[in-house]
Structure 1
Amino acid sequence: MDHDHFFPQPTREIAEKRAALAPEALEAWRNFSRTVYKEGALPEKYKQLIAVAVAHVTQCPYCIRSHTALAVRKGATQEEIMEAIWVAAEMRAGAAVAHSALAMDEMEKLAGK
């Protein structure tokens, strides 16, 4: 099934319009992004693996595609990328389990009334 119609393809025209509408904010974001992903205490490959995992949690299709490609370019293997995705899936599922305490608390409050 083709889901491309849900998300417009990034184009030069979209990028140019975004830049024209908020040039200072876009430049600040670009500088921030360059700073965050450059080699530091964490190698660039690890940073891209983190980005792949987070992209799956935030469910950003553009981020999934771009950071997967960047992770591969920085030397990540398919196995490393898939493991990062599974870590993200576990964290997302774990959050749902942990937050069930809120529902349990609310149910107990309502039962006590």
Structure 2
Amino acid sequence: MKEDHLYPNGSRELAERRNALAPEVAEAFRSFSKAVFKEGALPEKTKQLIAVAVAHVTQCPYCIRSHTTQAVRKGASQEEIMEAIWVAAEMRAGGAVAHANLALDEMHS
């Protein structure tokens, strides 16, 4: 059944349906995700803050919610989360500024 809004709420049922369509790939992705986010050279909190920032750049609403929740669980403050989001905003805007060189080069060739 289609939801009434742009993005359906994530649910166990949807996850099970997605995983059933490609179980080996789904398991590989779960394993990869666990490996990426486990404590390592970077603490788990830092990894979740990076994920919050990247989720804002990729504009994935599911990722924004999930990684914000995980960042809080790993001890991130609201201020740290907002700073990560501002870093993402600067990087995204910075890409437009940097790519202006392409337009400038094209206009002067």
Partner residue of 1:6?
Answer: 6
Please report how far the alpha carbon of residue 84 of structure 1 lies from its aligned counterpart in structure 2 after TM superposition: 0.4
4+ residue runs over 3 A deviation: none
| Unpaired segments ≥5 residues, structure 2 | none
TM-score using structure 2 length = 0.94
Aligned mates of 2:108, 2:7 — CA distance in 1: 42
TM-score using structure 1 length = 0.91
Is 1:59 the equivalent of 2:56? Answer: no
State the number of aligned residues.
106
Please report how far the alpha carbon of residue 53 of structure 1 lies from its aligned counterpart in structure 2 after TM superposition: 0.3
Please report how far the alpha carbon of residue 11 of structure 1 lies from its aligned counterpart in structure 2 after TM superposition: 1.6
Partner residue of 2:87?
Answer: 87
Q: What is the Cα-based RMSD across aligned positions, in Å?
A: 1.0
Question: What per-residue deviation string (whole Å, max 9, x for no partner) do you get for residues 72-103 of structure 1?
Answer: 00000000000000001001011110001111
| Unpaired segments ≥5 residues, structure 1 | none
- Report SS of the residue matched to 1:75: coil
